[in-house]
Structures are given as structure tokens and as C-alpha cells.
Amino acid sequence: MSILNTNPFQDPRAADSLNGKAYVRCFSPYLVAHLPEVFAQGNVILRGTIGCGKSMILRLFDPKVRIAYFEEGVEFPVPKGQRMFIATGVNLSKSGVLDIVQRMPNTATNEDVQRLTAIFVDYLNYWLVNDLLDSCERMMLKKECFEGLIDPTRIDHFVAAVVNEDCWFGYLSECKTLKAIRERIDERLNHLRSWANWNIDALDKAVEQSKAAIGEPVACSVVCMKDSGLLESEAVAFVRIDQVEELLHKDPPQYQLTEEFRRHIYRALGRRDGRVSYRIGTRNYDSEILSMPGGRKLEESRDYVIRDFDAILRRGENPKDWLFKGFAGDVFNHRLNAALPDGLPPFSSKRSLCRQFFGASPTPQVLVERIIVKQDTPVEALININDLKAPWQNFIRAVYKRETGISKVTSSGYKIDPLNAALALAWAKQNGGHAGQPPRCETDEPPKLVSKAPWTVWWQKERVSHAMLQLSASHRQKLIWWGMEDVLALSSNNITLFLSICRETWELWQRELRSSSNAPAFGEVPLTVQQVAIENISKRWHQNLSKQPGRPGGDVRIRFLDRVFADLRIKLRKDEAMRYPGANGFSVLLDEVEQFPELKRLLDECVAWGDLECIEHTSKNPADKIRGRRFKYYANSILVPHYQIFQAHTKEPRYVLPDELLKHAISAKALPTSAEAQKPTSQQPELDLGQHS
């Protein structure tokens, strides 16, 4: 294989969809060390948006994956001390277990709800036991791959013990072999499926009379495996329940039922007997942890811990701690090595292939030179200086022509300085943080030409992106992105997104290489190729996100976001004083948005599906101290090129009232006009932040 005829990122889905050899070669173990709780005893709720790498990690529980590692001669990536485990799992969506909801009578009584819940629990119990036995059989067939974890010679002892357990209520008493147990369980599961799908009218008496409490059959089976010597006594048993968010989706009256289902799942987590450890997979819904039947509520840290993949991978205050950067680089290396087994073409160093491929992202100065190519562009075409007094106009013209001490010498010989001129205009239009005072351009003289920039480094840093947006818009050019830093930032800490950018870039690069007369060599992809690839991927993900389901669906959510971010872009363009350089996102008070349940649901759904990123933040508005929690929202970074805003999350986002969002939702036909029925009572001033210098 050469770099010309293969694309290592052809399937941009994370390794969760790859099988056997391909998984082993593509899987990056980078995150395993950072998620010690996942492979340790105890219950863990794993949260994260689609494509964040959650399922990829959970696949390590699959015995088929462990066998593949053994057969490929590759070290199993789970730390040695945590490899003694067996696992079982159910995906609530794919298993059909939720078909039971179709049996809910129109006017359901409490008794109906309890009966259907008991059947749901039964279905879940038998599914989990079936999957556990399936794992066990696979492990027995390839026991050499499991480092003494399983002893197939003890299978008869296990069978003899397990069938007599009380949890079956005699249902398995006739079974003498593992095969017979599995057939009996299969019969029950198919019977339950048929009933849930209205193919039969009634459940068998044998089924009706042998329903157990949630988690009991799987826990008993694990204990029997250990007691009989089939399974190493120190082994941990993991029970995965995926797509629990499906239980949040049903509308009334089904919600009454799915809420009861959730309570029973929480009951399984709340057992505290250590026989099995649950792994609950869910998207990023901020759902309430309901009380278990009996009234007790699960306690975080005691009954479970939450691992939020999006939060783990998000860049914090210290860039060195940014896990996603290392993760993406490692995934890049694995993909390349998997696709090019004969080795890569020569390249300068083996360190950070990813950086060599994408190169460095542009500095603001380089970016401005790429966007405003014609150096004879008059300042008036880019910056609105007409309403300034003559001295300030002259000052900004001088900055533009690089005639002041503000402009630094460039190696490119670029003759104009639009970026500093735009910043100078903003400086002129601010008032230095003196509320109610006129702007500097009306009260002060402009700085002397020989002076250095009158603003601080931080003031400038916070406004450079904003200035770039205004300049590109005035020049009728698009904002552009390239280089490693931009690719990582636009990937939104989502590995599938990162792989999508890699795939598109590689594909366009191949086309370029084919038409080139030089020998193909691995190295930095031309920035024009990267620009186009990023633009294409942004557009494609805008389409992809609009095709996601949900309540409301992706098309509805994206229509809403299109309005919101188009409006924010207009406001950013008009804000010549750059008072709100953080207004590429918005912030709302939780108490206020909760007055509009449909709007709240719309925002929650946007976050759960990864259209929006949501982070709680401390309000800079003193009045908010008594008004409760505040959340800021930003578009998924990959949408930033499509919306032509900037990605950096600096300064405060735009503080908005819910009715501003409601108006967008209604005009985008994302919510019916009835959603506007209630009006908020409090009047919230727009935050005044930008005038400090």
C-alpha cells in the first residue's frame, strides 16, 4: 500500500465499529490509562456525545476483542491488574427490550405499569444472562487468551449449581447442560419478543410465574461461576446497559412506564453487594436520578461514579492537560500504521506524525495576509472610519499603512496592517470601562504615531478573532482554518470528527499528489488543501447533525441553531467597538430558561446530540448571584466554519433572555408559537463587559 492508493481514515467511525484485526490495529489505548474506574469494580455511569470514543473503550469488555489481541500478538491494552473480568451487556435500543412499551394500555392503571415493568426486568435479566453465557462460551473456546480467568473443566459443576438457584423459580430446573440452559433462555427471550410485538396474545404461565428482581439472575450466575471454579474467584463481572437515554424519550403516557424502568435500573446500581459492577452508557442528558422503588435515591460516589467523556477530553485551563490532543495524535499514528503496514514513506521525524501532516496553524498576521491578498485595498473598504473625527481617522489610516509603532516588521513584506487598524478602531470606540462615558474617539486625542499599542496584550488577544471576522466579512472573504491547532480545536474533542477531517484532507491531498510531478512523500499538506477539506467537513457535519434523530430531531434543531448563530454573527460584525468579543456563544440563566419547557428541551437535545456544547459558568453579572445557575452554549466547533464565526471561547458569551432564543426557535419553525405562551418576569440587562481596557 502506498499513500496514493489508500486512505487510512476511510472509515472515520471510531474503532467501536471495527472488528477483530482492524480493531486491534486501529484502537488507541491512550485513554485507558486515564479511565481507571472503567475497568475497576464499582458502578460507573459513562456519559458522552456520539463519536466521543465511549463505545470504543467499552468494546474492550468484549471477549472477541481480547481474543483478537491475543491472535495478533498484541498486548491487551487493559492494565495487567485489571484484566480479570467477564462482561455482559444490553443495548436498550437494539435489543428490542423496549418493545414492551407497545403493550401499554391507553388507560393504564398502576397495576399495568407494575406488571409491564416486571416483564421489562425479566427480559433484561434473561438477556444479560444469555450474553454472559455467550461470553463464557467464547472464553472457554479460547481459554489460552484469558490468562487463567476461565477453567472449562468446571462447566458441569457450574451448570449443576446454577440451575438450582432460587432466582429462576424452577424455570431452568430441567436443564442438565450449558447448551440446554442457553436453549431454555433463548426460548424465553423469543417468547417475550413475540409477546411484546403482539405476535402472541398472552405470556406463558411458566414465564409469568418465574420473574425475578432486576440483576438477580446475572449476579447469581456470576457467583455460581466463581463458586464452581469456572471463573477465577477474584474476577470482576461487568454489566453494560447502553442507551439508557432511550428511557427518557418516550412521551406521556409511556413516560410513566419508562420512568419506572429507570427506577429499576437504578435499583440494580443501588444493591451495593459487589457481585456485579454496572456500566451505564448514556448520551449527555442532564437527567434526574430518580428514586429507586422503595424511595432511596442513589448517591454519587457511594453507589456510582460518573465519567463524562466530553468533560474528560475538553481542554482545561492548562493546555498540557488536554487529553484530546494526545489521544488524537495517537489515533492518527495507529490509523497510519494500520493502513501502511510496509511503513511510511520517508519523513523528517517519527514524532507527532499528525503535526507533520497538518503543520502549524497560522498566526493572526499570516491569516490576515491570506484573507486580504490585495495590498492596495483602501482602509475604508475594510474598516468603517467615516464617523470618526479627522485625527482618529488619520491615526487609523497610519496604523493601516504601518506608519505607527503598533505594527511589527513582517518577513513577508506585507505592506498593510488591517488587523491592528481594526483593533485601533475598536479601541477608539471604547470608553475605557467608564460606564456612561462617551468613547475615546470623542474625548481623547489619538495615540502618537511613534507609540506602541495603547492596549494590553490580553485586550488584543481577546479580540483578534473578532477582528478577523470583521475584516473577512468586510472584504467578502471567508474565514479560513488550517494546521494542527485549528484541526484539534474544530474537532470539538470528538474523535470521529477528528477522523472525518483527516479522511477528507487525506483524500484531497491524494488528488493533489496524483497531479503532481514530484514523487509522493508524507509531509505537510498544502494549506489550500486543508482549507477546502475543513470547509467541506464543516458543511457535511452540518448536514449530518441535521439528520440525527431526537426529540426534536436534528433537522429541527439545526434550523434553530442556524438562526441563532446567523444572528450572533451579525451582532459580532456590527460590534465595531468589540465590546462583546465572546459573543460567538450565548448564556442563559437556568431558572429563566426552565420557564419555557419546550425551549429547555430543545437546548438539552442540542447538547445531548452534540450540536451545542454547554458548560456551567460563573456569571459576571452581580445581579445573577441571587438568580441561580448560568450556562453558556457554543456551537459544536466543527460548525464554526459553516457559520463563519470564530471558535475561541474567550471572554463572556452573549447573555440572553430565553425569549430571544424563543423568537429564533419559532421563526425557524423549531417550536410552535404556543411555546411562547409564558413570558419571563425578570428583566435581565445585557452584560456590559467589553469596555475595560
- Chain residues that interact with other proteins, rule: CB under 8 A: 10-11, 13, 17, 19, 50, 93, 96, 99, 101-106, 186, 189-190, 193-194, 196-199, 246, 249, 251, 254, 544, 547-549, 551-556, 666, 669-674
CB neighbour class for 20 (10 Å; exposed up to 12, middle 13-18, buried from 19)? middle
Q: Report the distance separating Cα 617 and Cα 388, nearest Å.
A: 37
Indicate the residue among 93 and 595 with the shorter CB distance to other proteins.
Answer: 93
Q: Cβ of residue 668: shortest distance to other proteins, in angstroms?
A: 9
Q: Cβ of residue 93: shortest distance to other proteins, in angstroms?
A: 7
Indicate the residue among 164 and 199 with the shorter CB distance to other proteins.
Answer: 199
Q: Cβ of residue 356: shortest distance to other proteins, in angstroms?
A: 27
Q: Report the distance separating Cα 334 and Cα 309, nearest Å.
A: 21
> Is the previous residue joined to 552 through a cis bond, with omega within 30 degrees of 0?
yes
Q: Cβ of residue 247: shortest distance to other proteins, in angstroms?
A: 13
Nearest CA-CA partner of 31 in 9, 46, 19? 46
Supply the DSSP string of 289-318, one letter for each residue.
-PBPTTS-B--BTTTBEEEEHHHHHS--SS
Burial 66-86 (b: 16+ CB within 10 A, else e): bbbbbeeeeebbbeeeebbbb
DSSP SS3 for 240: strand
Indicate the residue among 432 and 549 with the shorter CB distance to other proteins.
Answer: 549
Q: Report the distance separating Cα 109 and Cα 104, nearest Å.
A: 10
Nearest CA-CA partner of 577 in 378, 440, 407, 403? 440
Indicate the residue among 112 and 688 with the shorter CB distance to other proteins.
Answer: 112
Q: Cβ of residue 667: shortest distance to other proteins, in angstroms?
A: 10
Cβ neighbour number for residue 139 with a 10 Å cutoff: 20
Phi, psi of 407 (to 5 degrees): -75, 135
Q: Are the C-beta atoms of residues 468 and 419 closer than 8 Å to each other?
A: yes
CB neighbour class for 187 (10 Å; exposed up to 12, middle 13-18, buried from 19)? middle
Indicate the residue among 17 and 153 with the shorter CB distance to other proteins.
Answer: 17
Q: Cβ of residue 17: shortest distance to other proteins, in angstroms?
A: 4
Q: Tell me the sheet residues that pair with 236.
A: 85
Q: Cβ of residue 297: shortest distance to other proteins, in angstroms?
A: 29
CB neighbour class for 291 (10 Å; exposed up to 12, middle 13-18, buried from 19)? middle
Q: Which residues contact 188 (CB under 8 A, 6 or more apart)?
A: 126, 171, 207
Q: Cβ of residue 644: shortest distance to other proteins, in angstroms?
A: 23
Indicate the residue among 193 and 370 with the shorter CB distance to other proteins.
Answer: 193
Supply the DSSP string of 478-519, one letter for each residue.
-----SHHHHHHHTTT-HHHHHHHHHHHHHHHHHHHHT-SSP
* Distances, alpha carbon 190 to alpha carbons 119, 175, 178, 639, in Å: 13, 18, 18, 44
Indicate the residue among 106 and 517 with the shorter CB distance to other proteins.
Answer: 106
Indicate the residue among 405 and 549 with the shorter CB distance to other proteins.
Answer: 549
Q: Cβ of residue 196: shortest distance to other proteins, in angstroms?
A: 8
Indicate the residue among 82 and 254 with the shorter CB distance to other proteins.
Answer: 254
Indicate the residue among 388 and 561 with the shorter CB distance to other proteins.
Answer: 561
Q: Cβ of residue 96: shortest distance to other proteins, in angstroms?
A: 5
Q: Cβ of residue 318: shortest distance to other proteins, in angstroms?
A: 33
Q: Are the C-beta atoms of residues 304 and 43 closer than 8 Å to each other?
A: yes
Indicate the residue among 246 and 562 with the shorter CB distance to other proteins.
Answer: 246
Q: Cβ of residue 450: shortest distance to other proteins, in angstroms?
A: 58
Q: Rounded to 5 degrees, what angle do the CA atoms 203, 207, 213 make?
A: 120
Nearest CA-CA partner of 288 in 309, 308, 262? 262
Indicate the residue among 467 and 612 with the shorter CB distance to other proteins.
Answer: 612
Q: Cβ of residue 601: shortest distance to other proteins, in angstroms?
A: 12
